[in-house]
């Protein structure tokens, strides 16, 4: 089973990390257990997370000097493999080593690294990442928790002024965390310096809350039961001066503040930018869950039969129905595209975070934008696709024993955590509008709308990987669209970039026009739908270009040929989904638009025999799929077929 | 709060049933409890379902002679009100009184009614509706369970031949059911007479399985934890002759079969047709849940603020963002349309099921088609809208205490139970293709594709309620589309029916063409996407026409005016969603298509101040919403605003 060439193409640059995970985590030991209570799930995940292999998974993201792998890309891929296995396990690990450990690495300095990193890697020190507040999730620059320096005692006073400022949805808080990286407004000498982070003990050795710390429990959630999300409030908690994670801002004993970055906003978004890996991991994890769901639905659709064809005895396999193909195969093609785009994103993360010398600000902003856009698109794609897969299993898809309910419930939160998708897409659009010049990793929404409206520039497309190949393909397209073959890759690329460019140009025009005569809030708000479309069109192009680059890298000729067809389906089904726009802007004639629908159906027919092969290439161990129907349905179908003769031999009355 | 004229319009013909439910079920006693275990939930729902008021809710659907209300319409509305409260409670009650009790009423005769109906109404006899098998959910005509008559003993032998033939997903089976209506292939005298139903005891008085009956548990599910779904298998279970529910088929002591309906297929679908209320209730319940979710999201969006506008101190309410309005207000407008369409469907059900004399076959088929189409569209709308509402609450939407996880998980199964949505839409299309002549309530999918292809006729639109009004509006539209105001109702209606008619004509053409030269299976399968579009376009038109009729019935002028705007939004956002089709078929010019998007945004702006009023009119008691954030967020926002001055008075560094 499987197509090794295809699997190799998907496994990509960090294939060794994927292989290690499949081997180290083999069997059922780490697999999700359906129907657990909240307490059972928390207990199991808390235990399992400490049993995870350190190398290469957990250690990959940490500095080599502290026993880490110095491999940020590998660390993101290792997290994605955990997500392939169980999402509670991934999130719990992600909180401990990605968010908590990652913040200590990125925002702390040698004294923090020396004191804590080894215990963090070994999980002897479990921690939280306490940024979000009940009142401020998206607008983190406006957090209300304060941390005020007192030169008399040389300590900070950490304080939660009201309920909306309590830290909320904090993983590891309700049960296991001993310390937390707490984000708060730094105040010293009577002045605010914006949000900074401190390492703060929240529980003592017996697991009791530290004095002044109140710990709440977020209780039952839609999913991710194994993650103990909770609430933290601080009632004038004393924090020693050296517990400020001070890489980007220092407070001297006398209270003097200093920072390598003068501007508060710039500093804050630079700090956030160092934590971009979390967003990369969430997008990749969503796609991993999507691959699990598609594998289940496609394999089930191969064996499950319903309704006999006219004049035939045997019923028809679900995958033979066009409507089933329209749902599963198009989602599968998109998932392939997203997997290549994610691989490219992880590579970009790796290059930026392992580069010598000062940070290349432009590349950093571009990375943040890509991470934001691909996180939003992958998590929404996961939500839609897992739902479709659950429906594709009928009633069986509703039973916990068939895994899909868990996949659906666990991934749901991804659309709003590590950044609300709508807010993230605005960030992407803003980056495009300003050429990343001043967009930072900013989630500041509307605050500087006027500024953005004034700064928008003529658009220049940033090319992704395989720049020259893509330009060649685009340039090779003959002049008149109507004469170009529907499967011409250069034409696909041109259609995608044309949409992006035209939408962006239109947004620029409308913003400029609005800036002259509207209230600042309305300038942006009146075009919010248009701006979000720009971001989505941008991500579509990034995905197609990554798909093209991925095919180019594929060595195996058969795999390459199949991937090209899958890319055709991705490209044409995306154009079909936006045919309204293309027709409105006369990029498609009505006859050609109809021809695209016919061609999509034709591609579905061609790809039908390869459906199983395409999910096999995801190489997900059977045990990880944890789906009872996949184990039982083939035997049931066989027995039914054997028995059918008896019933069907009985003559009917009419 | 609230707009009584609007509420009156929505409460409609069975307003007294809705009012009774709001009063009788007031308070928190019946409200869903988040975070329960499976056992806790089953125990609570099992207890509560016996506490439900009999009159008018439960009794409404039963014959007056047995203490019922003889009010099928009222019974569907009462079920919808339970769904507004808690979906486990609705489904548990729906299994007992709708499916189980309803089958005994519809398929049984006086001897069954006399013996069981009073105990069924009082819940002294709890029962199951055992139709679906593991191997046959959609294709119920092909069930594999057999029930073979033996004239020697004058009993039937009920038997499950293999695992795929076990009854599955059966509500009330795992815990509470004492009897079951079991569907099986009737065999007598060596011949099959198709699927019939028997009343079969499955547990004894001590709750132990009866001899030969094996009862399994479907275990944890995605949602509806309070419903004890299970599996039933029969190992040559002896069933007395008189336990055959014999309204549509009798077996004489000597084994002679007789029926008022000769054709097996016709008889089977006539039997199914009497059970149409279940499908009506599921659609209505999905919309009830959608209304709960929208009420929560809209009220939260009124108080919750995020990101300050430029130069302003106070942050912006979520409902002020265009993207938020695009999500919630368009869903709200659609929900209004669906509520009017559901009201019309319930009326049609009521008229058909209370009519004197023989069944009007055409009206029965039309009712089945409407029920199927509106069930599919309402349940998908629920799935999408509840997801959007959960995202609109950010992280809070993921916590069980805020209700949305429960609404989402519980309604999910509606897309595939009481008929898989895709299969149901095929049924709708088939009815349109054949003018209901031979479509029956048939879910036979593809079996008679050739037949259908040969029988398709020129299309004649069936008008819904307010026929003459709608025709007047359509006729009043001036000739050229481009000159008609975008808010002209006649133009909306014409655009909707034009899409339906043209899609249907095209499907007919393609089927006829295919019939000449394709394999029977391919004739239909190659146009399956097109056929499903026909069905969706048909439902869209039904909804718009019901919306128009609902506005016409509305007495209060202010309510009427507001509803007209909501209908504009529904109509134009639907045309916008299908602009690709309209442009492809030159029903819209590119400039007019763009003008529609602008008009939708304009309507959103006009309706923004009415968002709260529009959900208030759903008149859902606060306790039923069971959302912690709605109780706590206003106070949090107030405290935060009061405290803000302090923090914001501290000067910033730069």
Mutate to test the interface with B, among A217, A376, A398 (most CBs of B within 10 A): A398
B300 interaction partners in chain A (CB closer than 8 Å): none
Which is nearest to A130 in space by CA: A214, A250, A205?
A214
Assigned fold of A4-126: Butyryl-Coa Dehydrogenase, subunit A; domain 1 (1.10.540)
Q: Indicate the Cα dihedral angle B412, B414, B420, B426, nearest 10°.
A: -110
Q: Which residues of B204-214 are buried (b: 16+ CB within 10 A; e: fewer)?
A: eeeeeeeeebe
Q: What is the largest CA-CA distance in chain B?
A: 99
Q: What is the largest CA-CA distance in chain A?
A: 99
Catalytic residues of A: 418
Is the pLDDT assigned to residue B465 strictly greater than 70? no
Q: B652: helix, coil or strand?
A: strand
A37 and B34 in contact by Cβ < 8 A? no
Strands A127-130 and A179-188: parallel
CB-count exposure of residue A649 (10 Å: 0-12, 13-18, 19+): exposed
A190 interaction partners in chain B (CB closer than 8 Å): 650-651
B525 and A322 in contact by Cβ < 8 A? yes
Which positions ≥6 away from B357 have C-beta within 8 Å?
A: none
pLDDT of residue B468: 85
Per-residue pLDDT averaged across B212-228, rounded? 98
Is the pLDDT assigned to residue A284 strictly greater than 70? yes
pLDDT of residue B443: 38
Q: Model confidence at B252, in pLDDT bands (50, 70, 90)?
A: very high
How far off is chain A from B608, nearest CA to CA, in Å? 13
Residues in chain B, total:
654
The C-alpha atoms of residue B333 and residue B494 are separated, in whole angstroms, by 19
Q: A316: helix, coil or strand?
A: strand
pLDDT of residue B654: 60
pLDDT of residue A649: 82
Q: Taking a C-beta distance cutoff of 8 angstroms, is the pair A112, A105 a contact?
A: no
Per-residue pLDDT averaged across A414-419, rounded? 94
Is the pLDDT assigned to residue A440 strictly greater than 90? no
Is the pLDDT assigned to residue B446 strictly greater than 50? no
Assigned fold of A277-616: Butyryl-CoA Dehydrogenase, subunit A; domain 3 (1.20.140)
Per-residue pLDDT averaged across A467-487, rounded? 86
Structure tokens at B577: 């969603």
Which is nearest to A345 in space by CA: A319, A371, A323, A366?
A371
Q: Indicate the Cα dihedral angle A14, A15, A17, A22, nearest 10°.
A: 150
The C-alpha atoms of residue B611 and residue B614 are separated, in whole angstroms, by 5
A398 and B408 in contact by Cβ < 8 A? no
A651 interaction partners in chain B (CB closer than 8 Å): 190-192
Is the pLDDT assigned to residue A444 strictly greater than 70? no
Phi, psi at residue A226, to the nearest 5°?
-75, -10
> What is the pLDDT of chain B when averaged over all its residues?
93
Task: Report which DSSP code applies to A626.
Answer: -
The C-alpha atoms of residue A373 and residue A341 are separated, in whole angstroms, by 11
Is the pLDDT assigned to residue A456 strictly greater than 60? no
**Which of A132, A415, A529 lies nearest to residue B326, judging by beta carbons?**
A529
The 10 Å Cβ neighbour count of residue A285 is 30
Is the pLDDT assigned to residue B129 strictly greater than 70? yes
CB-count exposure of residue A279 (10 Å: 0-12, 13-18, 19+): buried
> Any idea which residue has 């939708």 for tokens?
B600
Residues B339-376: tens digit of each pLDDT: 999 999 999 999 999 999 888 888 999 999 999 999 99
Q: Taking a C-beta distance cutoff of 8 angstroms, is the pair A383, B362 a contact?
A: no
A132 and B395 in contact by Cβ < 8 A? yes
The C-alpha atoms of residue A531 and residue A265 are separated, in whole angstroms, by 23
The C-alpha atoms of residue B652 and residue A190 are separated, in whole angstroms, by 9
B601 and A400 in contact by Cβ < 8 A? no
Residues A343-402: tens digit of each pLDDT: 999 999 999 999 998 888 889 999 999 999 999 999 999 999 999 999 999 999 999 999
* Pairs of residues, one from chain A and one from chain B, whose beta carbons lie less than 8 Å apart: 331
Q: Taking a C-beta distance cutoff of 8 angstroms, is the pair B419, B445 a contact?
A: no
Q: Indicate the Cα dihedral angle B374, B380, B386, B392, nearest 10°.
A: -120
Decide if B190 touches A, using CB distance below 8 A: yes
Handedness of CA A52, A56, A60, A62 (dihedral sign): positive
pLDDT of residue A453: 53
CB-count exposure of residue B456 (10 Å: 0-12, 13-18, 19+): buried
The C-alpha atoms of residue B647 and residue A187 are separated, in whole angstroms, by 10
pLDDT of residue A438: 56
Q: Model confidence at B454, in pLDDT bands (50, 70, 90)?
A: low
Domain coordinates in residue numbering, chain A = 4-126, 128-264, 277-616
pLDDT of residue B562: 98
On the CB side of A388, how many CA atoms lie within 13 Å of its CA?
22
CB-count exposure of residue B604 (10 Å: 0-12, 13-18, 19+): buried
Residues B35-44: tens digit of each pLDDT: 999 999 999 9
Alpha helices for A178-316 (secondary structure H)? 264-273, 277-303
Which positions ≥6 away from A403 have C-beta within 8 Å?
A: A32, A34, A292, A296, A625, A626, A627
Residues A247-259: tens digit of each pLDDT: 999 999 999 999 9
Is the pLDDT assigned to residue B450 strictly greater than 60? no
Q: Taking a C-beta distance cutoff of 8 angstroms, is the pair A239, A150 a contact?
A: no
Decide if A4 touches B, using CB distance below 8 A: no
Task: Output the CATH code of domain A128-264.
Answer: 2.40.110.10
Q: Taking a C-beta distance cutoff of 8 angstroms, is the pair B436, B365 a contact?
A: yes
Residues B630-651: tens digit of each pLDDT: 999 999 998 988 887 778 788 8
Decide if A652 touches B, using CB distance below 8 A: yes
Decide if A357 touches B, using CB distance below 8 A: no
Is the pLDDT assigned to residue B392 strictly greater than 50? yes
B521 interaction partners in chain A (CB closer than 8 Å): 309-310, 312, 316, 320
Residues B562-620: tens digit of each pLDDT: 999 999 999 999 999 999 999 999 999 999 999 999 999 999 999 999 999 999 999 99
pLDDT of residue B433: 86
**Which of B257, B321, B519 lies nearest to residue A528, judging by beta carbons?**
B321
Assigned fold of B128-271: Butyryl-CoA Dehydrogenase, subunit A; domain 2 (2.40.110)
> What is the pLDDT of chain A when averaged over all its residues?
93
Which positions ≥6 away from A155 have C-beta within 8 Å?
A: A149, A238, A239, A240, A241
Q: Taking a C-beta distance cutoff of 8 angstroms, is the pair A503, A587 a contact?
A: no
Strands B257-258 and B250-251: antiparallel
B640 and A316 in contact by Cβ < 8 A? no
A383 interaction partners in chain B (CB closer than 8 Å): 387
Task: Give Cα separations from B67 to B18, B64, B346 (angstroms).
Answer: 21, 5, 22
Residues B138-158: tens digit of each pLDDT: 888 889 999 999 999 999 999
Task: Give Cα separations from B380 to B69, B77, B79, B413, B633 (angstroms).
Answer: 32, 20, 19, 10, 30
Which is nearest to A422 in space by CA: B306, B200, B146, B161?
B306
The C-alpha atoms of residue A428 and residue A285 are separated, in whole angstroms, by 20
Is the pLDDT assigned to residue A1 strictly greater than 50? no
Per-residue pLDDT averaged across B299-326, rounded? 90
Residue A148 pairs in a beta bridge with: A157, A187
């Amino acid at each position: 089973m499987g197509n090794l060439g295809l699997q190799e193409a998907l496994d990509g640059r960090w294939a060794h990390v994927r292989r290690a995970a499949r081997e180290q985590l083999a069997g059922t030991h780490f697999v999700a257990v359906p129907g657990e209570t909240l307490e059972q799930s928390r207990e199991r995940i808390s235990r399992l997370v400490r049993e995870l292999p350190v190398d290469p998974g957990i250690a990959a993201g940490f500095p080599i000097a502290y026993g880490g792998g110095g491999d940020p890309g590998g660390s993101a891929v290792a997290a994605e493999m955990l997500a392939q296995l169980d999402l509670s396990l991934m999130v719990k690990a992600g909180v401990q080593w990605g968010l908590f450990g990652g913040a200590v690495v990125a925002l702390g300095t040698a004294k923090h690294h020396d004191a804590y990193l080894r215990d963090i890697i070994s999980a002897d020190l479990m921690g939280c990442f306490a940024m979000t507040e009940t009142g401020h999730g998206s607008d983190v620059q406006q957090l209300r928790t304060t941390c005020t320096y007192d030169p008399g005692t040389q300590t900070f006073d950490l304080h939660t002024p009201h309920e909306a400022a309590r830290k909320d949805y904090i993983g590891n808080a309700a049960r296991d965390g001993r310390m937390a990286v707490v984000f708060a407004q730094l105040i010293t000498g009577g002045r605010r310096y914006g949000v900074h982070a401190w390492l703060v003990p929240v529980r003592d050795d017996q697991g009791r809350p530290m004095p002044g710390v109140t710990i709440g429990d977020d209780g039952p959630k839609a999913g991710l039961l194994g993650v103990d999300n909770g609430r933290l409030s601080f009632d004038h908690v004393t924090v020693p001066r050296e517990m400020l994670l001070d890489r980007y801002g220092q407070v001297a004993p006398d209270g003097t503040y200093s920072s390598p970055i003068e501007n508060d906003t710039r500093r804050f978004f630079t700090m956030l930018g160092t934590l971009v890996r979390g967003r990369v991991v969430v997008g990749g994890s969503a796609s991993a869950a999507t691959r699990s769901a598609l594998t289940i639905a496609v394999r089930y659709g191969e064996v499950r039969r319903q309704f006999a064809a006219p004049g035939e005895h045997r019923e028809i396999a679900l995958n033979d129905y066009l409507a089933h193909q329209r749902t599963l195969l198009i989602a599968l093609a998109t998932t392939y595209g997203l997997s290549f785009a994610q691989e490219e994103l992880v590579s970009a993360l790796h290059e930026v975070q392992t580069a010598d010398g000062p940070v290349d600000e432009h590349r950093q902003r571009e990375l943040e934008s890509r991470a934001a856009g691909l996180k939003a698109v992958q998590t929404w794609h996961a939500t839609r696709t897992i739902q479709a897969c659950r429906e594709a299993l009928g009633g069986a898809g509703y039973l916990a024993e068939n895994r899909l309910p868990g996949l659906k419930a666990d991934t749901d939160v991804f659309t709003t955590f590590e950044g609300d998708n709508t807010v993230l897409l605005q960030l992407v659009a803003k980056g495009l509008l300003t050429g990343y010049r001043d967009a930072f990793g900013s989630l500041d929404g509307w605050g500087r709308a006027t500024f953005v409206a004034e700064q928008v520039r003529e658009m220049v497309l940033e090319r992704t990987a395989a720049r020259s190949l893509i330009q060649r393909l685009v340039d090779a397209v003959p002049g008149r669209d109507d004469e170009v073959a529907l499967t011409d890759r250069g034409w696909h690329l041109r259609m995608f970039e044309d949409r992006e460019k035209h939408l962006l140009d239109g947004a620029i025009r409308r913003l400029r026009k609005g800036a002259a005569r509207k209230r600042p809030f309305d300038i942006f708000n009146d075009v919010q739908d248009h701006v979000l479309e720009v971001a989505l069109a941008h991500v579509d192009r990034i995905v197609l270009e990554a798909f093209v680059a991925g095919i180019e890298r594929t060595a195996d000729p058969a795999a390459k040929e199949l991937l090209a067809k899958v890319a055709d389906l991705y490209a044409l089904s995306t154009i079909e989904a936006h045919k309204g726009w293309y027709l409105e802007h006369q990029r498609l004639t009505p006859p050609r638009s109809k021809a695209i629908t016919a061609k999509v159906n034709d591609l579905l027919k061609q790809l039908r025999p390869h459906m199983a092969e395409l999910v096999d290439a995801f190489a997900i161990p059977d045990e990880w799929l944890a789906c009872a129907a996949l184990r039982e349905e083939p035997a049931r179908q066989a027995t039914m077929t054997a028995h059918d003769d008896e019933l069907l031999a009985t003559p009917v009355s009419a």
